[in-house]
């Protein structure tokens, strides 16, 4: 081959290499830019994920604190209601005992009144010079009205299975009154038995 051919061939190779080398450098530069863009995007994603994680942890903490506060409030409310229930039960027991005592006292008072009347009549009878008649037997004291007689409608509604609230509304009474009357009626039944 001729030298000129070699020179042309070498020139062509140099020309081809000259054209290819800038493209390779440009591709490497483009690849470097793409890599740096990907790294930036990844860093932003990680930052966003970390912020979301912090927000989620904060929300869970707030929810936990609210749940704890609500649970404490409920426990305090339950304790208060239990205390009030114990107080009401104590008051109902005392009222029942007082009522029972009054009922018993009422029958004793009627008998006592007849004895006092007989004693009061006795001095007047002694001042007369007549033959003494035997002391009359004091009249039987009027039977005190029973709880069941006084509150027949209430007890009838209760025996029909009506709730205490419904009975109280229907009869215009307080629920505590209705409960007390029911307890007294049970005690009265127990006393008869």
- Mean pLDDT throughout 114-125? 51
Cβ-based neighbour number of residue 154 at 10 Å: 23
Please check whether residue 149 lies inside any domain of the structure.
yes
Look at residue 57 in the predicted model and tell me its pLDDT. Answer: 92
CA 64 to chain centre: 20
Please check whether residue 7 lies inside any domain of the structure.
no
Task: Determine contact, residues 154/171, Cβ cutoff 8 Å.
Answer: yes
Please check whether residue 88 lies inside any domain of the structure.
no
The string of pLDDT tens digits covering residues 72-84 is 999 999 999 999 9
Please check whether residue 26 lies inside any domain of the structure.
no
Please check whether residue 139 lies inside any domain of the structure.
no
Please check whether residue 16 lies inside any domain of the structure.
no
The string of pLDDT tens digits covering residues 85-94 is 888 888 888 8
Looking at beta carbons, which pairs linking 153-162 to residues 24 or more positions away fall under 8 Å? 154/178, 154/181, 154/182, 155/181, 155/182, 155/185, 158/182
Look at residue 75 in the predicted model and tell me its pLDDT. Answer: 92
State which residues form the domain around 151.
145-193
Please check whether residue 11 lies inside any domain of the structure.
no
Number of domains in the chain: 1
Please check whether residue 167 lies inside any domain of the structure.
yes
The string of pLDDT tens digits covering residues 137-179 is 555 555 557 888 889 999 999 999 999 999 999 999 999 999 9
């Amino acid at each position: 081959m001729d030298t000129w051919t070699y020179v042309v061939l070498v020139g062509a190779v140099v020309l081809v290499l000259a054209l290819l080398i800038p493209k390779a450098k440009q591709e490497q530069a483009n690849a470097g830019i793409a890599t740096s863009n990907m790294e930036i995007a990844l860093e932003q994603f990680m930052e966003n994920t970390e912020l979301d994680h912090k927000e989620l942890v904060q929300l869970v903490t707030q929810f936990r604190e609210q749940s704890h506060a609500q649970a404490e409030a409920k426990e305090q409310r339950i304790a208060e209601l239990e205390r009030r229930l114990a107080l009401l039960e104590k008051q109902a027991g005392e009222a029942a005992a007082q009522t029972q005592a009054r009922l018993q006292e009422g029958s004793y008072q009627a008998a006592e009144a007849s004895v006092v009347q007989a004693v009061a009549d006795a001095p007047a009878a002694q001042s007369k010079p007549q033959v003494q008649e035997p002391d009359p037997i004091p009249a039987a004291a009027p039977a005190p009205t029973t709880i069941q007689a006084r509150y027949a409608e209430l007890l009838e509604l209760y025996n029909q299975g009506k709730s205490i609230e419904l009975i109280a509304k229907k009869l215009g009474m307080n629920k505590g009154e209705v409960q007390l009357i029911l307890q007294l009626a049970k005690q009265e039944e127990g006393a008869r038995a």
